[in-house]
Structure 1
Amino acid sequence: MKLSTWAKKQGISYKTAWRLWKTGKLPLPAEQLATGTIIVKEPEASYEAGPSSVVLYARVSSSDQKQDLDRQLLRLVEYATSQGFQVKRVIKEVGSGLNGKRTRLLSILRDSNIRT
């Protein structure tokens, strides 16, 4: 499929997808045709084929916003279940977005059993 189509399916902008491809960080193999079009090769068995489960992550930047964190999670759970997803895990985190120390988010991204 075209990179632009793949980006829409992933919920990211084309420019972000292009940057991922250009830096070699695109999670799927891709090739550029002679015309310049970038084709993303999806795996044979798509993860959308069967019942899907999700890990939900919510973060606020200060402990004053803990009530907002609970509201975020409630909305995420409602949305996921309305879309037919099974909520596998819910992760909350309180921490500043400035320093990048999001230990729980990084643990999700490092988990080989979880796909993004």
Structure 2
Amino acid sequence: MLVKEWAEREHLHPQTVWKWCRQGTMPVPVERTPSGMWLIHDPKYETMPQSKSMESRTVCYARVSSGDQRNDLRRQADRLKAFALGMGVEKPEVVTETGSGMNDRRRKLNRLLSDPTVGTLIVEHRDRLARMNAGLVESALKAQGRRIVVVDDTELDDDLVRDMSEVLTSLCARLYGRRAAKRKTDAALKAARDA
């Protein structure tokens, strides 16, 4: 546990705790990492994460880009729930969200990622989690002992073209507005194909 976190729990000032660590007068065991950070090993707080890991939840996360795709969202959620039941999850929790895969301010997904009780996150395709850098999210969760299960992990041959069109669509939408974005993306793709 970090010094600041332990100090808050014990209602002490962090500077006092750092001073005790340096002087060797801490009432609980401490450890100094090679990078110089102090870690506090208080037995009364270290038993809590183990009990939380036993309460690990499995959550299905379904996402679509726009409100027009509500029916797709419902079908996606049903498929994820069926997959979770097939995995042996008794009562799978389903979280649905509407928002761009390029947007990192998706409240429901951020809430799931920051919740330590969510041990397994099930998504239909990797791009439902994030359009780009989903591997980074997966690595961070893996380091915490959590995991992401991708139902359909097949990669398409035209993956690079699809990614490029998504990036262009997103950038055009920001620059020119939503309606003109598709036209400008199609024109840019046509120009790229013709070149």
TM-score (norm. length: structure 2): 0.32
Alpha carbons of structure 1 residues 93 and 57: separation in structure 2 relative to 1, 3 Å: same
Question: Higher relative contact order at CA 8 Å, sep ≥6: structure 1 or structure 2?
Answer: 1
Aligned pairs, number:
67
User: Given the two structures, how large is their TM-score scaled by the length of structure 1?
Assistant: 0.51
Structure 2: tracts of 5 or more residues without a match: 1-52, 120-145, 147-195
Moved over 3 A (4+): none
* Equivalent residue runs for 1:1-116 within 5 Å: 53-115=57-119, 116=146
Larger CA Rg, structure 1 vs 2: 2
Q: Which has the higher strand share?
A: 1
Structure 2 CA distance for aligned equivalents of residues 74 and 88 of structure 1: 11
Asked whether the 8 Å contact 1:53–1:85 carries over to 2, the reply is no
Judging by fraction of residues, say which structure has more helix: 2
**CA RMSD after TM alignment:** 2.1
**Is the Cα contact below 8 Å between 1:55 and 1:87 reproduced in 2?**
no
The runs of 5 or more residues in structure 1 that have no matched partner are 1-46
**Once the two structures are aligned, what percentage of the paired residues are identical?**
42
Deviation at 1:91, TM superposition (A): 0.5
Distance of 1:109 and 1:62 partners within structure 2: 22
Aligned equivalents of 1:75, 1:88: Cα separation in 2: 12
Measure the CA separation in 2 of the matches of 1:105 and 1:86.
Answer: 22
Report deviation, 1:55.
Answer: 0.8
